Amino acid sequence: MTGPVSKGMCTFCKKPVAKSAMAKHLSTCEPRLARLAELPVGKAKIRHTRLLHLRVEGAHLGEYWMHVEIPADASLKRLDSFLRRVWLECCGHLSAFTIGAEHHMVMPEPGYGEKGMAVKLGAVFTPGVVALHRYDFGTTTELTVKYIVEREADYRGHDVRVMARNEPPVYPCGVCGAPAVWVCTQCIWEGAGWLCDEHAPEHACGEDMLLPVTNSPRVGMCGYTGQLP
């Protein structure tokens, strides 16, 4: 028995598209094709560069995913900062990329063979590459970052463009079946603890164990609320 098809919203045409079809859709989306020459707003110098199309998703929670475009001359640190801001940041934890046999840490220890995140994306993301990103080495959230395709264009700055993102999964309240808006940080490890506003105050673990349901693979983890601390 299969679950519901994960869908996402295309940023350009505002149409819902199945996860499995989104990469192909973005390659032919007419509103996107019409906007390819647009530059981000700002004062940074315009340059001709490669733009990488990457798909990011929860390594163990594939219902959370994004398609992004980022300059190849941007650094791993830029991508890490974006992932923290959009999906992960709660308490300033450490993070790292694993790409092949190399480990790129936000705070590397060279004595352990670790590298930093100053490396340019274009040097590590090539066809076939799938990187692992980890945030928080206690309550860890793991993401995969996959190279999809690239193009050349004039671009300003190093901003990340979100081209598509999953629609928020709907989890039923474990008591009444209504859409959950809270989740218990203890019960979630057993696949339970999803609660609506009405039944959250009655939860046996106590309201101090509850976090808001967010559209992120870090939902219910540590102190993640979807808002930057």
**Structural domain range at position 188:** 182-212
177: nearest Cα among 158, 194, 159: 194
Give the strands of the sheet with 182-184, arranged side by side.
Answer: 194-195, 182-184, 210-212
The CATH number linked to 151 is 3.10.290.30
Residues 102 and 21 in one domain: yes
Residues 24 and 92 in one domain: yes
pLDDT band at 48 (very low <50, low <70, confident <90, very high): very high
Q: pTM of the full predicted structure?
A: 0.94
Number of domains in the chain: 2
Residues 97 and 125 in one domain: yes
Mean pLDDT of 36-64: 93
Residues 134 and 44 in one domain: yes
Q: What is the mean pLDDT of the chain?
A: 95
Residues 27 and 115 in one domain: yes
Sign of CA dihedral 71, 29, 12, 214: negative
- Whether the predicted pLDDT of 173 surpasses 60: yes
pLDDT tens for each residue of 183-200: 999 999 999 999 999 999
- Whether the predicted pLDDT of 1 surpasses 80: no
Residues 160 and 194 in one domain: no
pLDDT band at 2 (very low <50, low <70, confident <90, very high): very low
Report d(CA 46, CA 197) in Å as an integer: 49
Residues 129 and 194 in one domain: no
Residue 227 included in any domain:
no
Over 4-58, what HEC string results? CCCEEEECCCCCEEEHHHHHHHHHHCHHHHHHCCCCCCCCCCEEEEEEEEEEEEE
Tokens of 70: 């980022």
**pLDDT for the residue numbered 3:** 54
The string of DSSP codes covering 164-213 is: EEEPPP--B-TTT-SBP-EEETTGGGGT--EE-TTTGGG-TT-GGGEEE-
Report d(CA 207, CA 203) in Å as an integer: 7
pLDDT tens for each residue of 67-89: 999 999 999 999 999 999 999 99
Residues 147 and 194 in one domain: no
Residues 30 and 74 in one domain: yes
pLDDT tens for each residue of 157-166: 999 999 999 9
**pLDDT for the residue numbered 213:** 97
Residues 158 and 186 in one domain: no
Residues 120 and 190 in one domain: no
Residues 21 and 46 in one domain: yes
Q: Phi-psi region for residue 220, left (φ > 0), alpha (ψ -120 to 50) or beta?
A: left
